[in-house]
Structure 1
């Protein structure tokens, strides 16, 4: 097809994302039973989708580029489990391809989809040709040919799905990762056509029809903006001010600073936070960091040089970790993994100059790696395969050494039998 003049709008994009979420609502329990993407990959990917769709519920932006950026930010920061990280990278590629556009042509949107598939493929461990890698290559190829032929976006999606299905038929194997990619593509196609019925999310992203046991996306809202500023009024009632800021924030620190107060918080509405604050005194030294993008984490009055951070699945394990010297505990398990947001937010707490993030399960590895990609050199990783390895690693910690030196020594200790 040549001369295609189709335009994809922000409203079209909203329907596609809503359609994808709807499809995962229908498929996540089936995906949970499949192998190839860790424990309960369906739940992890559904919660990642929840973090992605929630920024759309009250957004005023109509541009496809702006909406794609918001969705990507929510997915990247709210990603859970290895499956969630891979899905988030698809949204990251979409956001990159649509950046700065109010509307997009089919060709532009198709190329953005190719970006998403390639970004997802990059983070998948490639030690062997798994079904998801085979599928990703085939889907990218199918999308490429359809984009080159200037086909409408619905036909680009159909071509990607058809090519992927043919390739999987050749190898005769579908794992959880492959099913997740198919579910995403088919959901986007249904959303674009308006041909779907969601058990929990309508086209307007209403959330009233929640089913028992189904993850509620309202619990997965992320606050990706780190905001710091000072208020030039030493007479501020800090407790009342903090309570007001809590309305739009997940973390708030208010403390005296010179002839005023310093504020450090994490929010999804930086503009509303500043607007709330102007009545308390003169606002200055405002710094806003999008924590879902790669950024430098600057220390502000850290208490110790190096802190250890780990994931605990219950109070008993948390207490044991604290007794072993681990400083920061994030709640999570292989069935209910921690989000990237929880790890990055912990590193933004100003507790230490640098952080050692220690994992005791492969199910956390991609989440930890994504957190490090966002925060950079102030975080080092010690990726263990089980709790015994983690215990050996923690015993090797030396507070007199740097985070990088400790990461190397602790990794060696973990690998010793």
Structure 2
């Protein structure tokens, strides 16, 4: 069998099969993360991103490869999680650009779309690093356009073989991979996708999305916390408007009098709409004047409220659960969104006035859509987003680009950096002054973490065995030991200098409060001139998160 051309049906089966393969192998991809800690999440992020993408095209009957790829790219964009997920979404955004307006494509046209995917991915990264997923998509695109194959199956086979060969060379490109004795995790995820696409075409697979082990990460307010009468607008209405040159701002202004909790976001030739309204028909009649309607979904929230009270733990409410007071409040000058994991840390952010704390961080990076949903819930002129994780910053920036609100992403990479930012924020000071002060404060915070090793490796000149306790300072392994309290004390001593004034300890789920107290007392005796604080962060995986300022 050979395919001189492929259409939307072929591409549909290719990407769904690829998504299934990545879902099956995400744990393996996670295991390739360089750091031998229990929060490796590259495979999870890529799988959840791609799962959101293929869910967007599920059930589409069109044979146009341009339409399928466009929908797929939109789903990936909104579902992107972590740096690897954001880069993957840009890969498929570029591929969609290369396949735009095409019913079917030959091998050269498909090869060019892969190269376009590479270009799009590189544009998304400020300082591209070779030996990563970027290298794999670039060399995949380059090998594809150089290929002499007219059969798309043969083309994909050649691309997969070349990509695997390059992936096996990534340890030579990045010393950190060589030391850890792994290939690049993101590159492996992309190779699995390419192989899944090839397999579907070669074996003529009619793919269906397999069920995922991942739980929904939507965060809801308790249904029992509101009365049915509090639901001012009863119908949650969602749909897409497909059309060219739609003025998102004008359409948003037209819909505003007819509901609340409104999201109107334009993505290329489509507009995504979410609104709570009492007249869905009126909203749809206005929308249909602008273009073709797709994915229409209308839910009676009052009826849902009556049915979900007994399923609180599963559904935990929805964004319609805002109280009347929240809905009617005047727009404030500043709002805050933070990402955190651990009830104790979440409570700290809330105590400092953060409007929404998105549950996530290591192991569960929120998606672009998760961040965008939180942005939409805040009625403020300026909204700060604190990612508190280097792997969430790209998704936060992507969400900021998809809204007309003034979003300021402060590039916090750790929980202590985020907490410091909210503590030094001054509501009486101007926006630019606050932004500058918060960015400067990040440099004054040194962060340490205590966790455990999930595999044997050698890193930063240290031999590490599975189960060892690791003390990490500013992203590098500083201590290897067997006792979490000894390791914690050691990294704090290494972090302190004569200018240090404040030591803060957030202890997690695996820590003993009595032993934490003894640790604090030992530090107070050693550093009588420093202020030492401890909080029960209740965070998973990390016995301690510490900061020195």
Conservation of the 8 A alpha-carbon contact between 1:141 and 1:160: no
Equivalence for 1:30: 28
Q: After the TM superposition, which residues 100-179 of structure 1 pair with which residues of structure 2 at under 5 Å, given as runs?
A: 100-124=101-125, 126=127, 128-146=129-147, 149=148, 151-170=150-169, 172=171, 174-179=183-188
Match of 1:180 among 181, 189, 203: 189
Match of 1:326 among 332, 354, 370: 354
Match of 1:203 among 207, 226, 229: 207
Conservation of the 8 A alpha-carbon contact between 1:20 and 1:183: yes
Which deviates the most, 113-122 or 13-22? 113-122
Structure 2 residue runs without a partner (length 5+):
172-177, 219-227, 241-253, 265-269, 294-327, 446-549
Structure of higher CA gyration radius: 2
Distance 1:245 1:61, change over 3 A: farther
Higher relative contact order (CA 8 A, sep 6+): 1
The alignment of Structure 1 onto Structure 2 pairs a total of residues equal to 368
- Write the distance in 2 (CA, Å) between the matches of 1:67 and 1:383: 34
Conservation of the 8 A alpha-carbon contact between 1:10 and 1:103: yes
Post-superposition shift, 1:193?
2.3
Equivalence for 1:9: 7
Conservation of the 8 A alpha-carbon contact between 2:52 and 2:75: yes
Conservation of the 8 A alpha-carbon contact between 2:237 and 2:274: no
Equivalence for 1:97: 98
- Write the distance in 1 (CA, Å) between the matches of 2:358 and 2:13: 34
Equivalence for 1:365: 393
Post-superposition shift, 1:77?
0.4
Equivalence for 1:245: 236
TM-score, scaled to structure 2: 0.59
Match of 2:371 among 331, 336, 343: 343
Post-superposition shift, 1:311?
0.9
Equivalence for 1:76: 77
- 1:203-243 Cα shifts (integer Å, max 9, x gaps): 244x5xx47xx226xx489xxxxxxxxxxxxxxx9988944
Cα-Cα RMSD: 3.9
- Write the distance in 2 (CA, Å) between the matches of 1:167 and 1:68: 26
Conservation of the 8 A alpha-carbon contact between 2:18 and 2:197: yes
3-state secondary structure, aligned to 2:236: helix
Which deviates the most, 274-283 or 55-64? 274-283
Equivalence for 2:199: 190
Distance 1:278 1:384, change over 3 A: closer
Post-superposition shift, 1:376?
6.6
Distance 1:402 1:8, change over 3 A: farther
- 1:136-163 Cα shifts (integer Å, max 9, x gaps): 33223212212xx363322332232222
- 1:74-118 Cα shifts (integer Å, max 9, x gaps): 111011122211211111111111222222232222211111123
Which deviates the most, 72-81 or 399-408? 399-408
Structure 1 residue runs without a partner (length 5+):
197-201, 222-236, 250-256, 291-299
Post-superposition shift, 1:264?
4.7
Conservation of the 8 A alpha-carbon contact between 2:375 and 2:383: yes
3-state secondary structure, aligned to 1:362: coil
Equivalence for 1:39: 40
Conservation of the 8 A alpha-carbon contact between 1:15 and 1:194: no
Distance 1:329 1:168, change over 3 A: closer
3-state secondary structure, aligned to 2:384: strand
Which deviates the most, 360-369 or 169-178? 169-178
Q: After the TM superposition, which residues 213-228 of structure 1 pair with which residues of structure 2 at under 5 Å, given as runs?
A: 214-215=213-214, 219=216
3-state secondary structure, aligned to 1:307: strand
Which deviates the most, 131-140 or 404-413? 131-140
Post-superposition shift, 1:383?
1.1
Q: Give 1 or 2: higher strand fraction.
A: 2
Conservation of the 8 A alpha-carbon contact between 1:372 and 1:379: yes
Q: Give 1 or 2: higher helix fraction.
A: 1
Post-superposition shift, 1:273?
8.5
Equivalence for 1:391: 419
- Write the distance in 2 (CA, Å) between the matches of 1:162 and 1:18: 21
